[in-house]
Amino acid sequence: MSVRILALVGSLRAGSHNRQLAEAAVKLAPEGAEVELFEGLADIPFYNEDIDVEGSVPAAAARLRAAAQDSDAFLFFSPEYNGTIPAVLKNAIDWLSRPYGAGAFGGKPVAVVGTAFGQFGGVWAQDETRKSVGIAGGQVLEDVKLSIPGSLTRFAETHPVDDAEIAAQLTEVVARLHGTVGAAQAA
C-alpha cells in the first residue's frame, strides 16, 4: 500500500524555489510513497465561517479538503514573508482545521521544510507553520527539518533536485514521513 503525502507550497510564484523543492520531493519519493503537489491554493478564498457551510463550501476549498482527507501525511514548503508564514499557507491550514474537532489533519504526520533568501533559510516561517498546523491537529514531526539559506544564489542555476546535498536531505525528509505513516499503519 502506497503512502500518500500531500505537498502544500506557500509561494504562488511559478519560479519559486520552494515550489522547485516540492517538485524535487515528488521526483525523489522513495518506493511506496507518493508525493502529490497540490495545485490551486491561490483559488481558495480567505477562511470565513460564513462561507464554510455544508453544501456550499467554495469549490477550491472543497478540493483542498478532499485531497487532504485522501492523504496519509503532509509536507509543507514554506518561504518566509516578513519573518513569518505566507498568508496562502496559513489560509490552507485554517481551511483544513475545520470543521472544529474534525479537521483534515486528524493526527496525520506533518513535516515542514523550505528555503529563503536570508541566512537562516526561513526558520521563523517554518516554526510558525509547525505551530499552526500542530494546533490544527497535525502530528508535527519536530525533529524533521530542512531550512535552506541563500535560495537566490544556491538555486540560481541549479534545480534543487540536481543539488546532491539538498536531494539527499529532502529524500530523508520524505522517507521519515513515509516511515512514520508506515509505523502507524503497522501498529
Average pLDDT over residues 50-74: 96
Q: Which residue's entry shows cell 478532499?
A: 66
Query: pLDDT higher for 39 or 100?
Result: 39
pLDDT given for residue 118 in this prediction: 87
Q: Would the pLDDT of 1 be above 70?
A: no
The per-residue pLDDT for range 122-169, each reduced to its tens digit, is 999 999 999 999 999 999 999 999 999 989 888 989 999 999 999 999
Q: How confident is the model at residue 187 (pLDDT cuts 50, 70, 90)?
A: low
Q: What is the chain's mean pLDDT, rounded?
A: 94
Q: What CA–CA distances, in Å, run from 33 to 3, 69, 106?
A: 5, 16, 20
Q: Would the pLDDT of 184 be above 80?
A: no
Q: Is the dihedral of CA 96, 79, 85, 138 positive or negative?
A: positive
**For residue 171, what are the contacts with CB-CB under 8 A and spacing of at least 6?**
28, 30
Q: Which domain holds residue 100?
A: 3-186
The per-residue pLDDT for range 23-43, each reduced to its tens digit, is 999 999 999 999 999 999 999
pLDDT given for residue 122 in this prediction: 94
CB 111 within 8 A of CB 22: no
Q: Would the pLDDT of 68 be above 90?
A: yes
- Which H or E run contains 133? helix 123-135
Rounded-to-integer distance, Cα 138 and Cα 123, Å: 19
CB 129 within 8 A of CB 76: yes
Kindly tell me the burial class for residue 18, based on how many C-beta atoms sit within 10 Å of its own C-beta (0-12, 13-18, 19 or more).
buried
pLDDT given for residue 185 in this prediction: 74
Rounded-to-integer distance, Cα 18 and Cα 72, Å: 21
Question: Count of domains in the chain?
Answer: 1
CATH code of the domain containing 148:
3.40.50.360
Q: What percent of the chain has pLDDT over 90?
A: 84
- Alpha-carbon Rg for the chain in angstroms: 16
CB 110 within 8 A of CB 158: no
